[in-house]
Amino acid sequence: DEAYRQGLSSLWIMALPTIITVIILALCLVRPLRKLDFISLPDLIEDRYGRLVRHLVSGLIIWYMVLLASSQLVAGGKFLAQVLGINYFTALLIITGVVIIYATLGGLFSVALTDTFQFFLIFGAIFYLAISLYHHSWSSALPPLHFSRLTQNLNLLANFRQNILICLSFVLAWVISPISWQRIRAASTTRAAQQALWWSVPTFILYFGLIIFIGYQLKVLALPFNHSGPILSQIIQAPGPSSLRLLLFIGIIAAIMSTLDTAINTGALSLTQDVILQLVSPTSSAMILFSRASTIIMALLALAVAFKLQTILQALGLASEIMAEGLFLPGLAMLFLKKKHPRAGLLALLLGGGFALVGFLAQINLIPLKWLSWPQTLPLGVSLSALGFIIGLFLDSLNRRPSD
């Protein structure tokens, strides 16, 4: 949708932050992460900032995963509702039920397996649509480059002030994302992790290049889209080859489910490892039950938020704001800190994360407060986190014993 509306400038919204994040991870973070011994991100947080900060970060990560999963539920709900002609809330229940079944039964293995299959479905659908639109534009005697009508769509810097903040918010959040760190830690070797990241760069370039091309071709063809739902769902409903429509439907569902199941699985890991196991010491069989219960809880929480937030980009933005403002600075710093800095981590989390929490509650109208909308809030939130971290470092240095 954004590629259709903005053209090249839509690269700032998803493509560039994705590619920039992968490059940062490959260049700077793979080796430090592989050297450290931890299961979940809060394990490392406790080692650097103490147990109190660990508990706060656990809550923040679960909150982030709930919002990330809810953004995919919103996308899937809107898409499924329009294509199948069903109620939005019914569509949400269908998607939630499906992801609960396979994520609960198979855990991370089923998520990784289905994501691999979904990768080919997504690429197949996007590639097929791009070829079909290109062929249609030529058969309609339209030039493949239509500069006179599409100058604005070829401007990479259109809406730059807004788009650069969106890009920055996503990069800061995804660099510190437990999803990225979990996958890096799960790789067989450091070399394998780096190779996977570097191979993903040209993959993302090709994928997002096709997305931009599709958006451009849709503008060239001047198809009469409305604002009733996602553009791809309108393409599926329009007359056309049944094979294309079927593959598009399956590919879009696969794209949504691949992020949804990952967010739910990672959130369930944090809920189990960082909340339940901090309270009880279950047997191995009970541990499986707790893990499955955590998966169901995460899915239901995401479902509840999706009922409230019905804008995909807003849900994604609020999710990224949590990590960017609450955890980016202390999370990145802890990879290189040698001593404990409990006050630095606590103040950065309270100021940055607290600011993000107030903004979230204001934007979903749970508190009657006029508040800047995301991403305009990002500079202030990150600044507050940095201020808290610096003050905390100073206080930690004052309170550190000479023997330390």
Instruction: For residue 127, give the amino acid letter.
Output: F
Cα–Cα distance for residue pair 252/161, rounded to 1 Å:
30
Residue 112 has a pLDDT of 66
Q: Which residues of the chain have pLDDT under 50?
A: 142-148, 403-404
Distance between CA atoms of 66 and 60, rounded to whole angstroms?
A: 10
Model pLDDT, residue 178? 85
Question: pLDDT value at position 321?
Answer: 92
Look at residue 325 in the predicted model and tell me its pLDDT.
94
Contact call for residues 14 and 171 (beta carbons, < 8 A): no
Among the listed residues 136, 156, 164, 148, the one whose alpha carbon sits nearest the alpha carbon of residue 7: 156
pTM score of the predicted model:
0.86
Determine the pLDDT at residue 110.
60
Q: What is the pLDDT of residue 307?
A: 86
The one-character DSSP state at 401 is: -
The SS3 of residue 141 is coil
| Contact call for residues 228 and 215 (beta carbons, < 8 A) | no
Taking the C-alpha atoms of residue 121 and residue 266, their distance in angstroms, rounded to an integer, is 23
**pLDDT at residue 366, as a whole number:** 79
Instruction: Give the 3-state secondary structure of residue 54.
Output: helix
How many other C-beta atoms are found inside a 10 Å radius of the C-beta of residue 7? 21
**Do the Cβ atoms of 247 and 128 come closer than 8 Å?**
yes
Measured at the CA of 6, the angle between CA 241 and CA 242, to 5 degrees, comes to: 5
Evaluate whether the domain defined by 2-25+51-311 bears CATH number 3.80.30.20: no
Cβ atoms < 10 Å from Cβ of 339 = 9
**pLDDT at position 145:** 46
Confidence (pLDDT) at 21: 97
What is the structure's pLDDT at 404?
Answer: 47
pLDDT in tens, 132-181: 888 776 655 544 444 445 556 778 888 899 999 999 999 999 999 988 88
Residue 46 host element (H or E):
helix 41-49
C-alpha 236/C-alpha 238 separation (Å) is 6
Tens of pLDDT along 256-283? 888 888 889 888 888 888 888 877 877 7
Domain ranges of the chain: 2-25+51-311
